[in-house]
Amino acid sequence: MSNTVPRPGAAIIAVSQSLDAAGLVPNKSGNVSCRSAGGFLITPAGVPYRDLVPGDLVELPVTGKPAASGPRPSSEWRMHAAIYARRPDAAAIVHTHSPRATALACAGRGIPPFHYMIALAGGDIRCMPYATFGTAELAATAVRGLEGRRATLLGNHGVIAIGGSLEDAHAVAVEVENLAGEYLAMLSAGLEPQLLDDDELARVIDKFSDYGRLKR
Ligand SMILES: [Zn+2]
């Protein structure tokens, strides 16, 4: 398995290291995966992103458990498996603990549609209730938070973003952090965001259709 990792491995490593360099996955947090011939390929547990090589990545079936031996997948493999099982439109998944979005997640605060770029996420970004990391409960919570969306905040935890490609999932995760920073800036200035209405949001979502059709 690990010695026949297909080409997406290099792309997963590039995205992981870019997230790390941008400070979006502090202290080895987060994980990245994409679909592969045998299911999906995911970053391993406990390996610093800068040291990752394709052989460290772990391939898992969408329905099933990791092998008893060999490299250990990220502790959040259940969350990735559950999303791939339920979302045919997800070709890749990026999970971060990006600081500003995580700050909102720790306040139980989702992100309202105050900027048109939120259309990348498919609309307002929900904040889901807390569930313990690595559990089936968190996996189910993430799937619910992503209903009709490409991103959700995981309460007291972080962000999960999906896309029709690894690049798209990466772009969504980065944009969630941008939006969180803008929202926090408004909140700390005591400003009330003026929200885009549903019609305008639908128009922008349509203009972003090259990000792949969202499963609703
Ligand atoms: Zn996490």
Distance CA 127, CA 142 (A): 10
pLDDT digits (tens, 9 = 90+) for 200-213: 999 999 988 766 55
Report percent pLDDT > 90 for the chain. Answer: 86
pLDDT given at position 27: 93
Please determine, for residue 32, whether its predicted confidence score (pLDDT) is greater than 90: yes
User: Confidence band (pLDDT; 50, 70, 90) for 6?
Assistant: very low
pLDDT digits (tens, 9 = 90+) for 140-153: 999 999 999 999 99
What number is the average pLDDT over the span 11-21? 97
Q: How far is the CA of 8 from the centre of ligand 1 (A)?
A: 22
Q: What is the mean pLDDT of the chain?
A: 93
Classify the C-alpha dihedral 90-159-168-46 as positive or negative: negative
pLDDT given at position 70: 77
pLDDT given at position 64: 72
- How many Cα atoms within 13 Å fall on the side-chain side of residue 149? 27
Please determine, for residue 12, whether its predicted confidence score (pLDDT) is greater than 70: yes
Q: How far is the CA of 36 from the centre of ligand 1 (A)?
A: 22
Told to judge if 76 belongs to the known catalytic residues of this protein, a careful annotator would answer: yes
pLDDT given at position 214: 61
Helix (H, G, I), strand (E, B) or coil at 135: coil
Q: How far is the CA of 66 from the centre of ligand 1 (A)?
A: 18
What number is the average pLDDT over the span 146-171? 97
Q: How far is the CA of 46 from the centre of ligand 1 (A)?
A: 13
Q: How far is the CA of 96 from the centre of ligand 1 (A)?
A: 6
Whether residue 88 contacts residue 174, with contact meaning beta carbons closer than 8 Å, is answered with no
pLDDT given at position 211: 63
Whether residue 41 contacts residue 58, with contact meaning beta carbons closer than 8 Å, is answered with yes
pLDDT given at position 103: 98
pLDDT digits (tens, 9 = 90+) for 58-98: 999 998 777 777 789 999 999 999 999 999 999 999 999 99
Q: How far is the CA of 156 from the centre of ligand 1 (A)?
A: 10
**Would you say the pTM of this structure is higher than 0.85?**
yes
Selected catalytic residue, list 59, 76, 175, 177: 76
What number is the average pLDDT over the span 104-123? 97
DSSP annotation of 199? H
